[in-house]
Amino acid sequence: MTTLRIGLLPWQVRPAPGLDAWAARLDAEITKAAGAQLLVMPEYAPLEMATQRVPDIEAELRTAIELAPHALQRAQDIARRHNIWLLPGTMPFEHEGRIINRAPLIAADGSVAFQDKHVMTRFEAELWRIDAGEPPRVFDTPWGRIGIAVCYDLEFPTLVRAQVEAGAWLVLAPVCTDTLAGFNRIRIAAQARAMENQCFVAIAPTTGAARAIATLDENRGRAGVYGPVDRGFADDGIVAEGEMDAPDWLFADLDRARLDAVRADGAVRNHRDHPALPPFCPLARFT
């Protein structure tokens, strides 16, 4: 299959203490996305299940880690029941004595594989002490290979380039940003990665204010899909965008064949002409 109908949900964060409340909401949201084949939720969207009586960053993290394996199982059950591919948002997991931020990609049969976040933000590194996870990888799907870049990772071209060189034609980006500036960094990065690799990049953000949750108290963003800036695509590379801060599903039909065509006969060939990174950067000498 070369055509994929993708659904991206700007998850509106709201207090939902407990696993059952979160899982029920996830199931209800997926029911609204009938017809889509791959659904993407934002970074840390499941964290609302760790809501405390009093907002507390450390308590929320501890609770989220305890619930993460159970939340993953619920998400696998939901994906299997709806017969869809699902990225239910990222979760903090305890792994080999470290805390890492993991994005599970769940197949329609309920099997799962992971992409870890590789570069931490200051909040994650300094307050939560989350460690870098495994380097970028790619996932075989019925629509070909895809990659996942978790939020801040999208801002580093070499991470996404490694996935594209391994065959990814689509990169999923679950994101969580608490300011408009933070979201714009992600949006600009998504457009840049799509342009320089002649691929699709799809972003799904958290949205809304949730004062009862210390970790996700402010959330800004819009869902979007971006592609090459070349023949057969929009002049600005935008394939589809939702409204800012609106918690509505965004759907897009993505055809891998369109990328093959522009890579072969575009006005430019960014994908083919992408230079290998030099082993060092020498000092230029004036004469």
pLDDT in tens, the chain (287 residues): 779 999 999 999 988 878 999 999 999 999 999 999 999 999 999 999 888 888 888 888 999 999 999 999 999 999 999 999 999 999 999 988 899 999 999 999 999 999 999 999 998 988 889 999 989 999 999 999 999 999 999 999 999 999 999 999 999 999 999 999 999 999 999 999 999 999 999 999 999 998 888 888 899 999 999 999 999 999 999 999 999 999 999 999 999 999 999 999 999 999 998 888 766 777 778 87
Question: What pLDDT, on the 0 to 100 scale, is given for residue 95?
Answer: 87
pLDDT of 23: 95
Q: How far apart are CA 148 and CA 115, in angstroms?
A: 6
Question: pLDDT tens for residues 155-176?
Answer: 999 999 999 999 999 999 999 9
| In contact, 241 and 38? CB cutoff 8 Å | no
pLDDT at 279: 66
- Give tens-digit pLDDT for 21-64: 999 999 999 999 999 999 999 999 999 988 888 888 888 899 99
Tokens of 215: 């970790």
- With beta carbons less than 8 A apart as the criterion, state whether 206 and 195 touch: no
Q: Which residues, including other chains, have CB under 8 Å from residue 91's CB and lie 6 or more apart?
A: 44, 46, 47, 64, 68, 71, 72, 101, 102, 104
Q: Which residues pair with 139 in a beta bridge?
A: 146
Are the C-beta atoms of 174 and 204 separated by less than 8 Å?
yes
Q: The tokens of 3 are what?
A: 């055509």
Q: Is CATH 3.40.50.150 the classification given to domain 3-258?
A: no
Distance CA 102, CA 150 (A): 8
